[in-house]
Amino acid sequence: MGQPLIQFEAVTKVYTKGALETHALRGLDLQIHPGEFVALWGPSGSGKTTALNLIGALDVPTTGRITVEGRELGKLGRAELSALRRDRIGFVFQSYNLIPVLSAYENAESVLALRGVPEAERRTRVMKLLGEVGLSGMEHRRPSELSGGQQQRVAIARAIASDPAVVLADEPTANVDSENAERILQIMARLNQERGVTFVFSTHDPRVMKYARRLVGLVDGKVATDVQKEQGA
């Protein structure tokens, strides 16, 4: 399969609060390759969200090594990590994390604006993406004027606008109804198949697991199962 896009090597993560220690990851070894559609699943406390936060350089491991596109995160400075998050990693959160005072269009273009992409190119790219996620004609609406499912679709457009190496989706269906969850997953699956976007989910939702091509089950911060589904399964 070639070089992994993401690699965990003996990664541990311990959270300390006073005398209390919580071991979120216990020597996690994992490889994810370009173009995969992977669900990290397991019960609450299994370490799946922690793993996603570490890939996204939103947190640092206690011990072990994480590489993204061959770059060891622990050896990157603050500015390099910030650039990595901006340019190479897309984020989709269960709470959407849209900026309330910005329109759908402005939210979706925000990463491109930060990267200094010219305005004409931003407009072409964002309008095409909003069409792909079913939001044509809604570009001027603010988050408060959109349903939960529509807000999540804006978040997807924002996540992939900069052509990232990977999109990290933390419980993306948690706050939407079944119909919208299905539509969101169909959009992500299509982007994976047609654009080759790599997706890594943290979830305990059977709907996400139905769409995922690979299911990595975490228990007590370690890989318990790793199943590659057959095409059409």
Beta strand pairing call for 198-203 and 166-170: parallel
pLDDT at 111 over 80: yes
Q: Is 88 within 8 Å of 68 (Cβ atoms)?
A: yes
Residue 35's contacts (CB-CB under 8 Å, 6 or more residues apart) are 192, 196, 198
Which domains, ranges and CATH numbers included, belong to the chain? 6-228 (3.40.50.300)
CA atoms within 13 A on the CB side of 186: 10
Rounded Cα gap, residues 156 and 154, in angstroms: 5
pLDDT interval class at 31 (50, 70, 90)? very high
At residue 230, the pLDDT reads: 74
Q: Is 26 within 8 Å of 220 (Cβ atoms)?
A: yes
pLDDT tens for each residue of 164-183: 999 999 988 888 888 888 98
At residue 233, the pLDDT reads: 53
pLDDT tens for each residue of 63-96: 999 999 999 999 999 999 999 999 999 999 888 8
Q: Is 149 within 8 Å of 185 (Cβ atoms)?
A: no
- When pLDDT is averaged across residues 12-35 and rounded to a whole number, the result is 94
Say what percent of the chain tops pLDDT 70. 98
At residue 231, the pLDDT reads: 64
Calculate the average pLDDT of the chain.
Answer: 92
The sheet that has 198-203: what strands, in order across it? 89-93, 166-170, 198-203, 37-41, 214-219, 222-228
At residue 232, the pLDDT reads: 53
At residue 93, the pLDDT reads: 85
